[in-house]
Homo-oligomer: A and B are copies of this chain.
Amino acid sequence: MDQHLHHVEEHFSGSDLIRDVVIGMSDGLTVPFALAAGLSGAVDTTTLILTAGGAEIAAGSIAMGLGGYLAGKTDAEHYESELTRERREVIELPDREEEEVSEIFREYGLEEDQIKSITKTMKKNPEKWVDFMMKFELGLEKPEPTRARNSAITIAISYIVGGLIPLFPYFIFHKPATALMVSVIVTLIALLIFGYVKGRFTGTSPVKSAFQTMITGGLAAAVAFGLARILT
């Protein structure tokens, strides 16, 4: 999941917080909705739908939250281990590191005397040289120390909030068919709004994002509904 998170991070102009809300809420709105819809085609009372839905939200929020925590920790550990390696290499293999810097610049059409002059300056300040290698050779940014913990909490809460929206009608209406109908309407509207807001933050067209998000959730629910009908 870590790499996926990185990709998302790249195209988000917003903060890490927004990114984590999107990760948690995307799945939270979709999977419990689809599961409840699927079970509505298979059972007679809403009690079991609420039990399965509640268990799913608990399982999903913990699994995704811990996943986010481990991804954050792995990023931090990976950064530290690469930093240690680069620091060692700058001391032990300065010629190879110099050649690596040179190749980066050669790719962009700089001339040899320019490159020589650059590497000479960098060698004077090994700490900045290491910073340069971390960012431009390895493409790594120093992670925030509280990142893993905050990420876990935000993802889990967003999953729970997202998941309670489609389940809510099953608390109120006791006939699965009625609850399903209300759940479909409420959740499709929530997916539209969520997709719109997500689009605004990710820089894609909000209207397009709204419909894409709604179709994703709707399609998942429709297939789950059909499958549950077949299985019972």
Binding site for B on A (CB under 8 A): 1-5, 7-8, 10-13, 19, 22-23, 26-27, 30-31, 33-35, 38-39, 42-43, 47-48, 50-52, 54-56, 58-60, 62-64, 66-68, 70-71, 74-75, 77-78, 81, 100, 103-105, 107-111, 114, 117-118, 121-122, 124-125, 128-129, 131-132, 136-140, 202-204, 212-213, 216-217, 219-221, 223-225, 227-228, 231-232
Contact A109 B81 (CB under 8 A): no
* A139 CB contact (under 8 Å) in B64, B139, B232: B139
Complex contacts, A13 vs chain B, CB 8 Å: 2-3
- Main secondary structure on A side of the interface with B: helix
Contact B125 A118 (CB under 8 A): no
Docked CA distance A91–B74 (Å):
41
Contact A1 B30 (CB under 8 A): no
Given the interface contacts A31-B56, A114-B114, does A223 sit within 8 Å of B62 by beta carbon? Answer: yes
